[in-house]
Amino acid sequence: MATALVYHEDMTAARLLWDDPECELERPERLAAVLSLLRLRGLEQRCLRLSACEASEAELGLVHSPEYVALVRETQTLDEDELRALSEQYDAVYFHPSTFHCARLAVGAALQLVDAVLTGAAPNGLALVRPPGHHSHRAAANGFCVFNNVAIAAKHAKQKHGLHRILIVDWDVHHGQGIQYIFEDDPSVLYFSWHRYEYGRFWPFLRESDADAVGQGQGRGFTVNLPWNQVGMGNADYLAAFLHVLLPLAFEFNPELVLVSAGFDSAIGDPEGQMQATPECFAHLTQLLQVLAGGRVCAVLEGGYHLDSLSESVCMTVQALLGDPGPVLQGSMEPCQSALESIQSVRAAQAPHWTSLQQGRAPGPSPSICPTEGRPLPLLPGGPTGEAAALGLLGFHPTPASPVHMAVALTGPSATLALSPEVLLQEEVSVGRQETEAWARQHESLTQDKALSALGKFLFLADGILNGKVTCGIAAIPACAKAATLDVAIRQSLSRGAQRLLCLVLGELDWPLDIADDGRILWLNIGGKETAVRSAFHISTPLPGTTGGFLNYTLGLVLPLAYSFQPELVLVTVGPAQGLQDPHVALLAAMLRIPAAGRVLALLEEESASQLVTTLAPVLHGEAPPSLGPFLMASPEDIQTLKCLRAQLEPRWKLLQVASEAQGEAGSCHRVPLGKPPSGTNYTDQACS
């Protein structure tokens, strides 16, 4: 099952016929540039290509008034003067004789994408469209937009597919006020938008783009606005917004479908946005959304006016949709003060409506108003599940990233799982016997033959990941040898020059490892006996008691730490009785894989390995984790623990912050250059004429 890519060349037909410096940005070359880079990278060829068809007038009528549709239909026969006169009736809009055809194709493309994903023909997808849609109203064109592609797609998903909860993520740099107006009183559509705002001084200059606009009536809390009050927002700012605002609400909302108003004018180099986020950031944003809604993510192009930045960013989005691991996110992971102020203001505005934001305060009387009625979506056909899935995933899955995608080394009763012919042969999955014995000598528990051979395999996988030959892996060892194996793997990795290893220990580890606290290892134990911060690199916390608590820990602690640390390798050890349910372990692995650029090595105890392999293999391979089930709010104790951990760790790991240190003080947005852009690309403002 491949990512759907919906397109039609006719959408390059509409163009500006007169001089207008504001509108000339939105030009046909945008689609041509994107498509040619997708082809050059071999990405288009890997997608399920669908040719767009025009939406029907009934479909346009899901959002737009019949009078407005008729008016746009009439533009087909207008001459240039008439087109110009009509265009001037709207804010930042131009009409062309082909506009009606293009705009119907754009809506049609969005609907076909939703149909493909909701019928199971594709797991996810992207519609490459012009004109964009998110600014258009029920009866007005606005901001280059004629019909509201994404809003119509959401209505269609509700009406034709019976969905009850749809999340719209608008990462375009402009506020999609059109979408906001259409769904402002509708609790079945959660609309999230971040946008350049500058305290109301940026287009479209609306009071209702600010954080305190949260929706109306039944829809209160289902409009989420994150206004950026400075330009220059970068990768860390966008990640902080996802980790501390969007994702907590999204998990609590539990959407059945994610629609993305995918504008790339929020990327570096764009003349409209003036932001600093690199194209790689969009792979991360996409991957973070793919843990929701069973991975059913439909992205629909909105803005994006710097042709190189736009094309690179779309390629990153498509790579993520295809399930490719990586890329590594470069650059400072410290959000700027202005971003933190914005994040804090939207969290404060939304806290009355979302239990996952009610931190530190006694939970108020407001119950979660997230609509929970509605049947769960059936499992889509074609997606591998259970043991068969694991079997299918054990082999070589070459990706551009590394020759072997996933390697699995199992022993004992579960070893038979690895006997598929495609799999790395058991003997090969090992470093040399002598080397293994040399490493093992220091540990009593590793002297047995069985433990020794398991160790050899584990070391081979760790080595393979560090030198780029393998993306990720799963290995099993006898329980009694687990701590020693981890110890040796860490020492081996350090001896080979690893600079940053993240060790995530789920459950108690019976043997206190004596590892140097020199900043090369970040040790995070969840499910330990007590809360302890021995250093910024040695953290232990008990298991959270509820799904809400678990999500708080994952989004508010584990992910920010992992992104801040930027590990070269993540070692995850999972005990048999660590207390986390399988879907929790799956979600943690699925999410940790993102900051780690896929490089996760799981160490299981062989007694419980066969069960955990079926949980872990699919998510490490890029599949969506299963739903966590009903959302239960975090206990006051868990909230308190997280608060206390954060307070101690924030000075070192800045992505943990959810509020500005000097809230109220206008902190200046530090701007560290975010690594170098891909070679040959110069993200300076591009002449747009």
The residues of the shown chain that bind ligand X5A, judged by CB under 6 A, are 22, 92, 132, 135, 143-145, 172, 174, 203, 263, 265, 302-303
CA distances from 586 to 105, 171, 322, 544 (A): 39, 27, 19, 16
List the single partner that 203 binds among ligand X5A, Zn ion, none, CB under 5 to 8 Å by kind: ligand X5A
To Zn ion, the closest distance from the beta carbon of 278 in angstroms equals 18
Total residues in contact with Zn ion, by rule CB under 5 A: 5
Q: Tell me the window of 168-176, 537-545, 546-554, 566-574 that interacts with Zn ion (CB under 5 A).
A: 168-176
Q: Could you please report the per-residue DSSP string of 625-682? A: PPP--S--PPPHHHHHHHHHHHHHHTTT-GGG-SS-TTTTS---------SPPSTT--
List the single partner that 135 binds among ligand X5A, Zn ion, none, CB under 5 to 8 Å by kind: ligand X5A
Residue 506's Cα: distance from chain center in Å? 23
A 10 A CB-CB count for 189 gives 26
Find the catalytic residue in 8, 135, 175, 353: 135
Q: Report the Cα–Cα distance between both ends of the chain, in Å, rounded.
A: 40
To ligand X5A, the closest distance from the beta carbon of 11 in angstroms equals 14
- Please identify, using beta-carbon distances, which residue of 219 and 263 lies nearer to ligand X5A: 263
Q: Give me the 245-284 binding string for Zn ion, x by CB under 5 A, dash otherwise.
A: ------------------x-x-------------------
- Please identify, using beta-carbon distances, which residue of 282 and 631 lies nearer to ligand X5A: 282
Structure tokens at 571: 């070692």
To ligand X5A, the closest distance from the beta carbon of 279 in angstroms equals 17
User: Is the CB of residue 655 less than 8 Å from the CB of residue 239?
Assistant: yes
195 is catalytic: no
Q: Tell me the window of 164-172, 377-385, 513-521, 560-568 that interacts with Zn ion (CB under 5 A).
A: 164-172
- Please identify, using beta-carbon distances, which residue of 126 and 249 lies nearer to ligand X5A: 126
CA angle 355, 356, 362 (to 5 degrees): 55
- Please identify, using beta-carbon distances, which residue of 444 and 685 lies nearer to ligand X5A: 685
To Zn ion, the closest distance from the beta carbon of 136 in angstroms equals 12
A 10 A CB-CB count for 77 gives 9
Residue 62 region, left (φ>0) first, then alpha (ψ -120 to 50), else beta? Answer: alpha
**Distance in angstroms (rounded) separating the CA atoms of residues 214 and 528:** 39
To ligand X5A, the closest distance from the beta carbon of 57 in angstroms equals 23
User: Please, what sign has the CA dihedral across residues 30, 594, 360, 649?
Assistant: negative
User: 95: buried, middle or exposed (CB in 10 Å: 19+, 13-18, 0-12)?
Assistant: buried
- Angle, helices 609-620/386-393, rounded to nearest 10 degrees: 60
Give the residue at shortest CB distance from ligand X5A: 303
User: Is the CB of residue 631 less than 8 Å from the CB of residue 312?
Assistant: no
* SS3 label, residue 105: helix
User: Is the CB of residue 569 less than 8 Å from the CB of residue 498?
Assistant: yes
Sheet bearing 48-51, strands edge to edge: 48-51, 4-7, 125-127, 297-301, 257-262, 166-170, 189-196, 223-228
Residue 277's Cα: distance from chain center in Å? 14
- Please identify, using beta-carbon distances, which residue of 294 and 303 lies nearer to Zn ion: 303
To Zn ion, the closest distance from the beta carbon of 179 in angstroms equals 12
Please give the backbone phi and psi of residue 388, each rounded to the nearest 5 degrees, phi first. -60, -40
To Zn ion, the closest distance from the beta carbon of 202 in angstroms equals 11
To ligand X5A, the closest distance from the beta carbon of 223 in angstroms equals 19
- Please identify, using beta-carbon distances, which residue of 303 and 335 lies nearer to Zn ion: 303
Structure tokens at 79: 């001459």
**Distance in angstroms (rounded) separating the CA atoms of residues 135 and 174:** 9
List the single partner that 143 binds among ligand X5A, Zn ion, none, CB under 5 to 8 Å by kind: ligand X5A
- Please identify, using beta-carbon distances, which residue of 33 and 658 lies nearer to ligand X5A: 33
- Please identify, using beta-carbon distances, which residue of 203 and 460 lies nearer to ligand X5A: 203
SS3 for 357-416 is: HCCCCCCCCCCCCCCCCCCCCCCCCCCCCHHHHHHHHCCCCCCCCCCEEEEEECCHHHHH
**Distance in angstroms (rounded) separating the CA atoms of residues 689 and 242:** 34
To ligand X5A, the closest distance from the beta carbon of 93 in angstroms equals 9
- Please identify, using beta-carbon distances, which residue of 174 and 244 lies nearer to Zn ion: 174
User: In this chain, which of 27, 137, 158, 174 binds Zn ion, going by CB under 5 A?
Assistant: 174
Alpha helices in 119-216 (DSSP H): 149-161, 177-183
To Zn ion, the closest distance from the beta carbon of 228 in angstroms equals 13
User: In this chain, which of 125, 303, 575, 595 binds Zn ion, going by CB under 5 A?
Assistant: 303
**Distance in angstroms (rounded) separating the CA atoms of residues 224 and 247:** 12
- Please identify, using beta-carbon distances, which residue of 108 and 273 lies nearer to Zn ion: 273
- Residue 617 identity (one-letter amino acid): A
**Distance in angstroms (rounded) separating the CA atoms of residues 589 and 240:** 20
Q: Where are the beta strands (DSSP E) in 124-222?
A: 125-127, 166-170, 189-196
**Distance in angstroms (rounded) separating the CA atoms of residues 563 and 542:** 22
Q: Which residues pair with 526 in a beta bridge?
A: 506, 541
Give the residue at shortest CB distance from Zn ion: 303
CA distances from 274 to 87, 285, 340, 551 (A): 26, 19, 18, 33
**Distance in angstroms (rounded) separating the CA atoms of residues 523 and 539:** 6
User: Please, what sign has the CA dihedral across residues 187, 193, 199, 205?
Assistant: negative
- Please identify, using beta-carbon distances, which residue of 263 and 331 lies nearer to Zn ion: 263
To ligand X5A, the closest distance from the beta carbon of 273 in angstroms equals 9
**Unique residue bearing structure tokens 């740099």:** 173
Which positions touch Zn ion (CB under 5 A)? 172, 174, 263, 265, 303
Catalytic sites, residue numbers? 135
